Structure 1
Amino acid sequence: MDYFADLITTTVILLVLHGAVFGILAVAVKRRAVVDAAQRSRPEFVTNLWLALINSILIAPLLVAPTQSLHAFIGTSAALQSFWEGVNGGLAVLAAIFLIDFTAYWRHRLEHEPALWRFHATHHSDTAMHWLSVQRKHPVAKLLSVIVDTLPAVALGLPVWAIGGGLMIRGFWGYFIHADVPWTFDRVGKVLMSPAAHRLHHIRDERLMGSNYANTFSFIDVMFGTYRDPAPYRDCETGIAEGTRTIWGELVRPWEARYRKRKAFEATERGAES
């Protein structure tokens, strides 16, 4: 019981701290319009809060042993471990961020394929984007990201502290790029993911949704041809055709008939094209 009490306390403290930071940011950017923005996002904010608590308190602890076993199975060579011991700490953390982001980029692209979209759709269903939208993840999608994203970093022998630091920085950046601010970062936006570029990834028009997959380093999208300039799409409408749900609706969303039909339809379309 003490373990779960500590976990709940830590989760709540982190959410409150992030809420304070991005609340101040919202007031600074929106000024008087912040009240209307908060009212629009309130129903989805509540759903996102529930998902954050479920994933952090109930799901994450169940993944600790399987993830550690998988990392132990992968292992790493003594030579790689020795190499990282001689690398500057800041560079080691930067390398961890890049490796995690690179892996997450490809995991994210796969989540837009029919087999995994049913679980990823929850993340795209917010119609009023805000900082807590980053926590709008179905538990199955959360499980996938926790298991997969750090594997290359572990296999390449990066220190645990560097991986932990990388995860913390990427985590904060994830909150930031989901915030409802229209910043594109201009030229820097092709190096670092901006809130406007990530909002474009959440655009309601599914033809434009297949872009800007990275969390932190947008140059990964540039490398693989999936970067799209967000400037013409600032403050675009977000969400998906299937609509938003309350907490229970999001938890059962993947098993709705529409996703089985969509998968079968897209498979038929690919067969016809070939």
Structure 2
Amino acid sequence: MEIFAPYARATLTLLASTGLVFGLLALVVKRNRIVEAVKLSRREFMTNLGLALINAIILAPLFVFPGNAISGALGVNETLAGLWDGVWKPVTLLLAILLLDLVVYWRHRLEHHPLLWPIHATHHADTTLQWMSTLRKHPLSKLLSVCVDMLLVLYLGVPAWAVGAALLLRSWWAFFIHCDVPWTLGIFGNVLISPAAHRLHHIRDEALMGSNYGNTVTLWDKVFGTYVDPAPYLDCETGIAEGTRGVAGELMRPFEKRYWKKTSDETEAPA
């Protein structure tokens, strides 16, 4: 049981701190509607909590091995790693944020491809989007992110302090953009992914769902043509056609024949 203890402490600390911050935010924003909002989101919140505990505590020790194996096989580019000493620290941090978000953008975008959608659909199933929706991930989707997301910064030898700071910012920003607030962030929303922009990514409309893949910045969505202004879609309906489920249902979702039949049909269809 000792192997799970560090993961349990880290997870419970994260849940307690984010719960306090975003719980207070919900209370301030919703005020007299908070009780109704809690009732509406209670079942999905518990599903998200269950998946978070499975991924971050029970399966976390297993995720370490493939993640380390892949990054170890890729190695570090020693020539590029040596260049970071001469870079101004604020620039180093900014580049770490942008590089992490670049990989997250493409990993996330590929998860919307029919081949990977069955493991990503769980994340889109919430009909009451809230901060804990961030942690609503199927273990296979979580494993993919563990194996892929840090490869570029590790290969480039980005300093550990910058990677750590960028990961912390990315984590908290992910909780923020899943909050049920119709905020576009004004002029800052041109640079940063806002809660409204990410809610649009979770929209029930599957065509518009293919937009705003970034986690922290809008740069890569704008560069690759997938950014959509969220202003016309504030408070849009979220979820997927297959509906939301409990923990067991979400764990089994990717293995249903209808998902793979649909995937096979779409990938074999002529252009």
Q: TM-score under structure 2 normalisation?
A: 0.96
Give CA-to-partner distance per residue, 1:153-202, whole Å, 9 cap, x none.
11111122221221111010000000000001223212100000000000
2:197·2:230 contact (CA, 8 Å) conserved in 1? Answer: yes
After superposition, residues 87-102 of structure 1 pair within 5 angstroms as: 87-102=87-102
Contact residue 192 and residue 216 of structure 1 kept, 8 A: yes
Q: State the SS of the aligned residue for 2:184.
A: coil
| Corresponding letter in the other structure for 1:53 | L
Structure 2 partner of 1:113: 113
- How far apart, CA to CA, are the structure 2 residues paired with 1:240 and 1:69? 34
Distance, in Å, in 2 between the alignment partners of 1:78 and 1:266 is 42
Determine if contact 1:127/1:239 at 8 Å carries over to the other structure.
yes
Q: Which amino acid aligns with 2:237?
A: E
Query: Mind listing any 5+ residue stretches in structure 1 that lack a counterpart?
Result: none
Letter in 2 for 1:78: E
Number of the residue aligned with 2:135: 135
Q: Report 1:206-245 matches (<5 A).
A: 206-245=206-245
- Please name the residue that 2:150 is paired with: 150
Provide the rounded CA distance (Å) in 1 between the counterparts of 2:77 and 2:256: 45
**Offset of residue 63 of structure 1:** 2.1
* Post-superposition offset of 1:244: 0.4
Cα distance between partner residues in 1 of 2:179 and 2:155: 33
Q: Which runs of 4+ in 1 moved over 3 A?
A: none
Alignment correspondent of 1:49: 49
Alpha-carbon contact 2:7-2:60 (below 8 Å) kept: no
Deviation at 1:97, TM superposition (A): 1.4
Deviates more, 1:33-42 or 1:120-129: 33-42
Q: Deviations over 1:7-50 (max 9, x none)?
A: 21221121011000001111111111111111111100000001
Q: Deviations over 1:233-269 (max 9, x none)?
A: 100000000000100000000011220221133234x
Aligned equivalent of 2:195: 195
Q: Which runs of 5+ in 2 are unaligned?
A: none
1:62 is displaced (CA, Å) by 1.3
SS of the aligned residue for 2:235 comes to: coil
Q: So what's the TM-score if we normalise by structure 1?
A: 0.95
Report the Cα distance in structure 2 between the residues aligned to 1:12 and 1:230, rounded to whole angstroms: 33
Partner AA of 1:131 in structure 2: W
Mean alpha-carbon deviation: is it higher for 44-53 or for 86-95?
Answer: 86-95
Could you tell me how far apart the structure 1 residues matched to 2:209 and 2:66 are?
Answer: 33
The SS at the match of 1:42 is helix
Counterpart code for 1:266: E
- 2:72 is aligned to 72
Is the contact made by 1:101 and 1:216 (CA closer than 8 Å) also made in structure 2? yes
Aligned partner letter, 2:78: A
Deviation at 1:64, TM superposition (A): 1.8
Who is 1:261 aligned against?
261
Deviation at 1:214, TM superposition (A): 0.4
Q: What is the Cα deviation at residue 60 of structure 1?
A: 2.2
Structure 1: distance between partners of 2:67 and 2:261: 33
- Provide the alpha-carbon RMSD of the alignment: 1.3
| Structure 2 match to 1:14 | 14
Amino acid corresponding to residue 111 of structure 1 in structure 2: E
1:182 is matched with 182
Q: How many residues align?
A: 271
Q: Deviations over 1:107-138 (max 9, x none)?
A: 11111111100000000000000000010000
Please report how far the alpha carbon of residue 219 of structure 1 lies from its aligned counterpart in structure 2 after TM superposition: 2.0
The whole-number CA distance in structure 2 between the counterparts of 1:258 and 1:9 is 39
* AA matched with 1:17: S
Q: Distance in 1 between matches of 2:160 and 2:250?
A: 33
Task: Show the counterpart of 1:33.
Answer: 33
The answer to whether the 8 Å contact 1:190/1:222 transfers is no
**Structure-2 separation of matches of 1:196 and 1:53:** 27
Contact 1:59-1:143 within 8 A present in 2 as well: no
